Amino acid sequence: MKNLETIEQYDVLKNDGKHIFLFSAEWCGDCRFIDPILPEIEAKYSEYTFIHVDRDKFIDVCAANDVFGIPSFIAYDNGKELGRFVSKDRKTQEQIEDFIESL
C-alpha cells in the first residue's frame, strides 16, 4: 500500500483513477488489527489503488472529508466519491470486502 506524501497528492489521486484511501494511525489498535489482511484485500480488488493516509500527518485531509474515526475508507473514481466506510469501529475483512463490493 502506498503512503500519502502530500495534501496535493491526495487531490491528484482522488481525481485520477480508482483509489481507496485508508485513514489510519500508527497508535490505532483497530488499524493494526486489519494490517495482516490488507495485502489480500489489495490483491483481490486490484482495480483500485490503495493509499494509506496517516491521520496524524494529514489531520486537515481527515477533517475536510469528515473522517473523525479510524480506521476508515473512502473510495473515488476519477473525482467521484463512490462510497465511504467511516467509523471508529474495528472492521473485519468481511466488512471491508462488503464495502468494496458495494461500490
Q: What's the pLDDT tens digit per position in 74-88? A: 999 999 999 999 998
Mean pLDDT, the chain, whole residue set: 97
pLDDT of 27 strictly over 90: yes
Q: What CATH number is attached to the domain comprising 25?
A: 3.40.30.10
Q: Are 86 and 69 in contact (CB under 8 A)?
A: yes
Name the catalytic one among 20, 31, 74, 86.
Answer: 31
What does the pLDDT average to over 14-42?
Answer: 97
The answer to whether 96 touches 34, Cβ cutoff 8 Å, is yes
Residue 62 a catalytic site member: no
Of 28, 53, 61, 74, the active-site residue reads 28
Q: What is the pLDDT of residue 88?
A: 87
Q: How many distinct structural domains can be found in the chain? A: 1
- Nine-digit cell at 73? 475508507
For residue 63 the three cell numbers come to: 477533517
Sign of CA dihedral 52, 57, 60, 62: positive
Do residues 63 and 10 lie in contact, with contact meaning Cβ atoms separated by under 8 Å?
Answer: no
- The stretch 51-65 carries a mean pLDDT of 97
Q: Domain range spanning residue 39?
A: 2-101
